[in-house]
Structure 1
Amino acid sequence: MQSSQKTHRTSRLAVAASLIAGLALAPAAAHAHGAMEEPLSRIYLCYKEDPEKLKGSYDGVPAGAPPCVDLVAMSGTQPLYDWTEVNRFDANGQHKKVAKDGQLCSAGRDKYKGLDQRRADWPTTRVSPDANGKYTFRFHATTPHAVKYFRFYVTRDGWKPTDELRWRDLELFATVKNIEAKSDPKQSYGQYYNMTVKMPEGKTGRRLIFAVWQRSDSPEAFYSCSDVRIQSPKSATSAAADAPTWDEAGRAVARNDLPAGTTVTFRVFDAKGGDVDRISLKLTGETGASAQWPFVLAKKVNGATDAFRIGVEGDDEAIAPEKSATENRVWRSSQFDGYSYVIDVDTP
C-alpha cells in the first residue's frame, strides 16, 4: 500500500511539473485591454492571421499578409499575442510626447515597431459611411476601462502608406466621450465600445485612421492604426454611387513556375456554393513563369466576371494586375456578397 501511494504521489508531481514546463514554453497570453476591430487595426489583423503560421512560409511564399510576416521576423510572435496592449502607461494626454513622429502605430514602443512599417501592402478595410455620412467604429475591449475620450484622426490628402506617419499628417475628425462598453451575445469574451461618428467630408480612398483611447481613471492610453479605403456616403446620387466597391478576398500567389500546358482555372461560386463561372487559362513556356501567370490570369478574370477582380489597388482605388508572384490580390464586388472562389492548377 505504501508503495502504491508513493507511486501516485510521484505521478501527480510529474504531471504538475509537465504542466508548469508547458506553461513556461507557451507564448504569454494578453490580459488587457483591447484593439480596434472595425475597421481592423494592424495589430488585430496580424493576430488574426495566426502568429505561429506567420513564422513560416510555403515554398518561399509568406504564409500570411507580408507586413505581418515581416513583423514576426522583426520582433517574434509575442507582440501579436499581446495584441491588446499597444499602450503607454505614462501618456496622461501627452500623446505627441510618448508616440513621436514615425512611431505612432507602435505607440513609441520597440516591441511593436513592426506596426510602423512604411509600405503599401498593408491590407485595407472598406469604410462605407451611411446616408448621413456616419460610420460606426467598434473597439474590442478585452478589459473595459473608464473612458476620458476616444479621438479619431484621418491622414491628410497626399499622404501615402509608404510615407512616415507624423502628427502633422493627421486631421482630427471626431472625439467621443461618456461611453461605456457593452457585451455582445454573439461574441465569447470581452466587451465592445461602439461609436457612431460623422466621417470627414472629402476624405475618400486609401487612408489611415489613427485612434487614441485615453482612460479617465489612469494616465494609460491605447493607440491604433487601421488601413482603410473610405467610400463616398451612400446618399450620393451620381452614377459612381451605384458602382460596386471591392473587398479583399484573398491573394493570387504563384508558388513556383508552371510548365507549359498547365491549365489554371479561376472558379466562382455563389453564396450557396453553387458553380457560377469557370475561367480557364492554358499556359505556355513564357506565361508559366511565377511572375507572369498571375498577371495573365488576372487580365482574363477581370474581363470575364463582374464578381471578382485580381490586381493591386492604386491610389485612385482602381484595381490593376501586376507582373508579380506575390503582390496581386483577389477582390470581391460588394454586389456579390457571399460569393467565393478557388484557383485550380492542373499540370500536364
Structure 2
Amino acid sequence: MRTSRKLILSIAGAATLAVSASMAALAWGHGYTSDPPSRSALCADGEVTNCGAISYEPQSVEGPKGFPAAGPADGEICSAGHDSFAELDDPRGGNWPTTPVSAGPKTFTWTMTARHATATFDYYITNANYDPAQPLTRDDLGLTPIASFRMGGAQPDHTMTHTVTLPARTGQHLVLSVWNIADTANAFYSCIDVDFGGDGSGDPTDPPTSGDPGGTGCDAPAWSSGSVYTAGDEVTHGAAAYRAAWWTQGETPGTTGEWGVWRRTATC
C-alpha cells in the first residue's frame, strides 16, 4: 500500500513538472522582428503603450503555421489569434509608428530567445486594398511571399537578418513576417508598419513628445533614486519619459535594457 502511494505521488509530481515546463516554454516565447520594429517590438520598447501582455513578451506571438491557407483568422493575424495579444490587431486608427522605406532591398532582423528548428522565414506585404485604419485580413495582402528563406530544419542564430526586396508602394503599408517552425505545427508572426512616403532610412518615426494617450509623458515628475516605483508609475529622466513595468527602486531609467523595468514612452 505504501509503495503504491509513493508511485502515485511520483507520477503526479512528474506530471506537474511536465505541465510547468510546458507553460514556461509558452510564457517565455521564442522570437520577433526587431528591426524594422514590429508592433511587438514597439510595445516592448515602450514607444507604444497600452499594449497589455505583449509589452513583456514580444517574442511570444505564436500561432498555427500554414499561412495563408491556414494560420490565424482574418482580423487576428498580427496577434496570431491570441486573445491576450489582441492589442496587436487594433489598428489604432492607422496611427502605429511607421518605418520609412522605399522600393528595393531592405534588411529585416529577427531577435530569437529560443532557437527552434526552422522551415522558412516568409515575408508578405499589403496591396492596394489595405486600409491601415482597419485590422489586417488576407484580402489586404499579396498572398505570395515577396521573399522566402528556407532553412531545412536548421536552427537560426540568436539574431537573424534577411534582405528583402520591397515592391513599389505608396503611403502606409504593412509587412507581415512569418517564422515557420520545422518540428511543430506553429509559426511566429510579426506585423511591421512601414511608410513608402518616407526617406527609406529605416528609423521609426519619433514617439510623440507629449507622451502616449492616457499617460503623463514629459509632464511626469523627475526620477529619484531613493523613491519606490510600482507598475504604471511614470517619470522623466535624461530628456525622456518612462513608465515602470513593475516594482523598482534605484534602477536608473534608460539603463535597464529591452527587458528591464523602465519602458520609454516619449522623447522630451
Instruction: Answer yes or no: same fold by TM over 0.5.
Output: yes
- In 2, are the aligned partners of 1:96 and 1:167 still within 8 Å (CA)? no
Partners of 2:192 and 2:27 lie apart in 1 by 20
Aligned-partner residue type, residue 175 of structure 1: S
**Shift in Å, 1:96:** 4.5
Q: Look up the SS of the partner of 1:46 in the other structure.
A: helix
- Alignment correspondent of 2:70: 97
Q: C-alpha deviations, 1:168-214, integer Å up to 9, x for none?
A: 211131111127533xxxxxxxx1111112212x2243111111111
Identity %: 31
- In 2, are the aligned partners of 1:105 and 1:224 still within 8 Å (CA)? yes
**Shift in Å, 1:253:** 2.9
Structure 1 runs not aligned, ≥5 long: 1-27, 50-63, 73-77, 183-190, 235-243, 256-341, 344-348
- Alignment correspondent of 1:80: 55
Q: Look up the SS of the partner of 1:210 in the other structure.
A: strand
How do 1:1-348 and structure 2 match up within 5 A? 31-49=28-46, 65=48, 68-69=49-50, 71-72=51-52, 78-88=53-63, 91-93=64-66, 95-118=68-91, 119-128=93-102, 133-171=104-142, 172-178=145-151, 181-182=156-157, 191-200=158-167, 202-230=168-196, 248-253=205-210
- In 1, are the aligned partners of 2:98 and 2:194 still within 8 Å (CA)? yes
- In 2, are the aligned partners of 1:30 and 1:81 still within 8 Å (CA)? no
Structure 2 runs not aligned, ≥5 long: 1-24, 213-266
Aligned-partner residue type, residue 211 of structure 1: S
- In 2, are the aligned partners of 1:39 and 1:127 still within 8 Å (CA)? no
Change (3 A) 1:30 1:83: farther
Q: C-alpha deviations, 1:124-181, integer Å up to 9, x for none?
A: 122356xxx2111100011111211111111112422112311121113111112753
State the TM-score, normalizing by the size of structure 2: 0.60
Structure of greater Rg: 1
State the TM-score, normalizing by the size of structure 1: 0.47
Larger deviation, residues 221-230 vs 244-253? 244-253
Change (3 A) 1:248 1:167: same
Which protein has greater RCO, CA pairs closer than 8 Å, 6+ apart?
Answer: 2
Change (3 A) 1:254 1:206: closer
Aligned residue pairs: how many?
185
Q: Look up the SS of the partner of 1:45 in the other structure.
A: helix
Partners of 1:94 and 1:229 lie apart in 2 by 24
Change (3 A) 1:246 1:84: closer
Aligned-partner residue type, residue 186 of structure 2: E
- In 2, are the aligned partners of 1:29 and 1:81 still within 8 Å (CA)? no
Change (3 A) 1:181 1:92: closer
**Shift in Å, 1:86:** 0.4
- In 1, are the aligned partners of 2:36 and 2:203 still within 8 Å (CA)? no
Q: C-alpha deviations, 1:285-339, integer Å up to 9, x for none?
A: xxxxxxxxxxxxxxxxxxxxxxxxxxxxxxxxxxxxxxxxxxxxxxxxxxxxxxx
Partners of 2:137 and 2:65 lie apart in 1 by 20
Q: Look up the SS of the partner of 1:248 in the other structure.
A: coil
